[in-house]
Structure 1
Amino acid sequence: MNHVPKRHLLTRLWATALLATLGLSLAQAADNDYPNKPVTVIVAYAPGGQGDVFARLVSDKLSTIYKQAVVVDNKPGVSGTVGTRIAAKAKNDGYTLFLGQTGEITVNRVLMKDLGYDPMKELVPVVLIGNAPLVMLAPADAPYNTVAEFIQMARAKPGEFSYGSVGAGTPGHLSAVALALGAKLNMVHVPYKGVGPLMSDLMAGRLQAFFSSASAAMPQIKGGKLKALGVTTTRRMNSLPNVPTVAEAGLPGFSYTLWGGLFAPAGTPVEVIERLNRDVNSVLAMPEIRSRLESDNVAVPKNTPAEFADYVRSEAVKFEKLIKDADLKLEQ
């Protein structure tokens, strides 16, 4: 048996302790020093959408906290894949972040082939910012007033009911697919390039339904131009207490929302991710920020990176199953 002199053993123990302390000090230094230059938050869609709103609300406050510019950079194109690819391939130093939403993270990877990146592997969850319901809208003069009545009439006219969306794979599109699959409906999908033309056609009765973000839906509902048939969350919306959930129409468990959160390129230092998570959660707890989001019916849950990662994985499983069960193709 080899015996290590006591003096050498003590030296090794001191060296090990020193390295551990040094490692901790470097991690703390990385945390305390971050950021020491401007941070970019990439949004994969044009300004004005829900994701852009999330990004700008948070970035404005982070700029004040960090005393560094936190800049939103819109990179729209090809159902969000242009901006997502840029973020996934960015340097993993914490200075390029991504405002990821339902489609870019969990849907496109299933619907589209040869993306050139895997958002579930190349982007890591930092913090969930908000979760917004969708509202099933119909023309104001439609002969149906509830989801149940819509289902009954659509079943009686297979292939004659059409619904709009702002693109294949969007939450609005997939919510309608889930409704059709669950209620055994044969409906026609009509994709639009923007919500404006879609709303106009819905008001004119050229479409029978549209699953819209609550923020876009509320002005039309309040103005009497469209009516709400149901909401996609498991609970009714506070601002539409008399509008039932889709689940109440006989589709138990129906829950599809528009969520958005911050992601970072894989390999970003854990200390930076934890710092961002803490700081964004503190921003979301500010009364003016929470009030602004809740006025748009956005749920603002406090969460850790691990909790957000679990949520993203559950959403990925849900949408992968839906797309497979519906045999959904990108061109649909």
Structure 2
Amino acid sequence: MPFRIILKRLVVTLGVAIGVSVVPTAVQAAGSDTPTRIVVGFAAGGALDIFARTLAEKLRVSLNTPVVVENRPGASARLALDTVRRSAADGKTILISPAPPFTIFPLTYKQLPYDPDKDLVPVAYLADVPLVASTGANQPYRTMQEYLAWVKRQPSKGGVGLVTLGGTIHFGVLTLGKEIGVPLLPTAYRGAVMMLTDEIGGTLPLGIDAVGGQMELYRAGKIRFLGVTGTKRTSLLPDVPTLAESGAPGFESASGWYSAFVAAGTPAETVGRLEKAMLEAIRTPDVRDKMAALGMEMNGQSGAALRKMIQAQRAQWKPVVEASGFTASD
């Protein structure tokens, strides 16, 4: 398949939608006249948007109410968070958020307009988004161990591509560099397509991004996968070892995730009802299979477990962020 066509498909997979005005999609159903809103911080067409709309179809039936998906892109998903925290505490407005606003942003921003522990209530941990380290197929190393040996011999070539500075991959790269004694440099790209183009062209030795956005190039033999983030192998790539398995520590808590939240003050009974409905939805085979094609693994944990995980991940990253001296700004 021509490289140009592969990249075109990759753009679609990543849901690159710039300057698109999105009208929420209502799901018609019997029940309450007031629809439940699922708010996401990204434009329509991306993986999270598709996930939210798939979930909305399930909730329409289980909650017996209309459900709409409202796209509020901007400020790295913080606009969506702000919409939900200001909403009525009745469970009718649900945020589906990635990890950073709750785990990393409280460490990297000097001041946030919200309190991640007080302004929202965790409802359910829904999905994992595994990330994978990749390299161009023409590079001399075929495994992460070989890459580490190579970069130790050529420390001036320690650039590692990523699409966002100030995220877990950024700090994972710094951790790994410290462990192996090589000043690895997190190198930000404006998008995964640009990063992968440089990998294939041989100008970027290593890049790390979501599995879903790299699969077509991997299947086409344009890139190699060297290791996945997390503490265990992903079912999406069962033959690819974790980075930790391959001697590259620092990425055990670097995988992305999507979870649900509602405004503080929402009655516990309402939160419990939403938790039950959402966990039932993501455990259905059709949701699991559809999201696997987009690089997600359905997880399914309670709101209480989600709260504990957020605290644990924040505590883990705090000394790394502080040692880096990195601060975020818009």
Normalised-by-shorter TM-score class = 0.7 to 0.9
Task: Look up the equivalent residue of 1:105 and give its one-letter code.
Answer: F
Runs of at least 5 residues in structure 2 that lack an aligned partner in the other structure: 1-30
TM-score, length of structure 2 as denominator length: 0.82
Give the equivalent residue in structure 1 for 2:258: 260
Alignment-derived partner of residue 316 in structure 1: 314
1:122–1:284 Cα change, 3 Å: same
Q: Could you tell me how far 1:327 is from its partner in structure 2?
A: 3.2
Is the 2:41–2:72 contact (alpha carbons within 8 Å) kept by the matching residues of 1? yes
Q: Name the CA shift for 1:230/1:68 in 2 (closer, same or farther; >3 Å).
A: same
Secondary structure of the structure 2 residue equivalent to 1:301: strand
Match of 1:20 in 2: none
Which of 135, 159, 171 pairs up with 2:132?
135
Q: Which amino acid aligns with 2:258?
A: G
Kindly report which structure 2 residues correspond to 1:83-98, keeping only aligned pairs within 5 A, or say none.
83-98=80-95
8 A Cα contact 2:73 2:79, kept in partner: yes
Following the alignment from structure 2 to structure 1, what is the Cα–Cα distance between the partners of residues 261 and 131? 23
Is 1:328 matched up with 2:326? Answer: yes
Of residues 150, 154, 162, the one that matches 2:151 is 154
Letter in 2 for 1:77: G
Native 8 Å contact 2:189 2:195 kept in 1: yes
SS at structure 1 position matched to 2:39? strand
**SS of residue matched to 1:300:** strand
Alignment: residue pair count:
298
Within the candidate set 184, 188, 191, 1:187 is matched to 184
One-letter amino acid of the counterpart of residue 325, structure 1: A
Moved more, 121-130 or 158-167: 158-167
| Higher helix content, 1 or 2 | 1
* Contact residue 54 and residue 130 of structure 1 kept, 8 A: no
- Does residue 1:245 correspond to 2:242, yes or no? yes
What SS does the corresponding residue of 2:160 show, helix, strand or coil?
strand
SS in 1 for 2:37: strand
For residues 194 and 80 of structure 2, the distance between their equivalents in structure 1, rounded to whole angstroms, comes to 25
Pairwise CA distance, 1:163:
1.8
Instruction: Judge conservation of contact 2:130–2:228 (CA < 8 Å) in 1.
Output: yes
In the alignment, is the contact (CA less than 8 A) between 1:106 and 1:312 conserved in 2? yes
Q: What is the aligned partner in structure 1 of residue 7 from structure 2? A: none
- Report the Cα distance in structure 2 between the residues aligned to 1:238 and 1:93, rounded to whole angstroms: 37
In structure 1, give the amino acid aligned to 2:98: Q
Alpha-carbon spacing, 1:240–1:306, altered in 2? closer, same or farther (3 Å): closer
SS at match of 2:327: coil
CA 1:159–1:266: 2 relative to 1, 3 Å: farther
C-alpha distance in 2 between matches for 1:79 and 1:159: 31
Q: Please say if 1:82 is aligned against 2:79.
A: yes
Of the structure 1 ranges 309-318 and 267-276, higher mean CA displacement relative to structure 2 is found in 309-318
Note closer, same or farther for the CA distance 1:326–1:249 as it changes in structure 2 (3 Å cut). Answer: farther
Asked if residue 103 in structure 1 is aligned to residue 75 in structure 2, the reply is no
Shift of 1:87: 2.3
Task: Name the structure 2 match of 1:57.
Answer: 54
User: Alpha-carbon deviation of 1:307?
Assistant: 1.5
Aligned to 1:301: 299
SS of 1:313's equivalent in the other structure is helix
- Alignment of 1:145 with 2:163, yes or no, is no
Percent identity, aligned pairs only? 28
Residue 121 of structure 1 corresponds to 118
Deviates more, 1:71-80 or 1:139-148: 71-80
Kept in 1, the 8 Å contact 2:120–2:262? The answer is: yes
Give the Cα separation in 1 of the matches to 2:44 and 2:172.
Answer: 23
Correspondence for 1:272: 270
Query: 2: distance between equivalents of 1:280 and 1:117?
Result: 25
Give 1:192 shift: 2.2
Secondary structure (helix, strand or coil) at the match of 1:115 reads: coil
What is the deviation of 1:36? 5.1
Q: Which has the larger radius of gyration?
A: 1
Q: Deviations over 1:147-184 (max 9, x none)?
A: 12222222233343212222123344344333323333
Confirm or deny that 1:203 pairs with 2:203.
Answer: no
Contact preservation (8 Å) 1:159, 1:188: no
Relative to structure 1, is the Cα distance of residues 120 and 49 closer, same or farther in structure 2, using a 3 angstrom cutoff?
farther
| RMSD between aligned residues | 2.3
Task: Check the 8 A contact 1:161/1:207 in 2, yes or no.
Answer: no
In the alignment, which residue of structure 1 is the partner of 2:24? none
Q: Does the aligned pair in 2 maintain the 1:173–1:211 contact within 8 Å?
A: no
For 1:284, the equivalent position in structure 2 comes to: 282
Listed one character per residue, the Cα deviations across residues 1-25 of structure 1 (whole Å, up to 9, x for unaligned) are xxxxxxxxxxxxxxxxxxxxxxxxx
* Residues 283 and 327 of structure 1, relative CA distance in 2, 3 Å threshold: same
Classify 1:48/1:178 alpha carbon distance in 2 versus 1 (closer, same or farther; 3 Å): farther
Q: Match of 2:173, as an amino acid?
A: A
| Equivalent residues of 1:103, 1:169 under 8 A apart | no
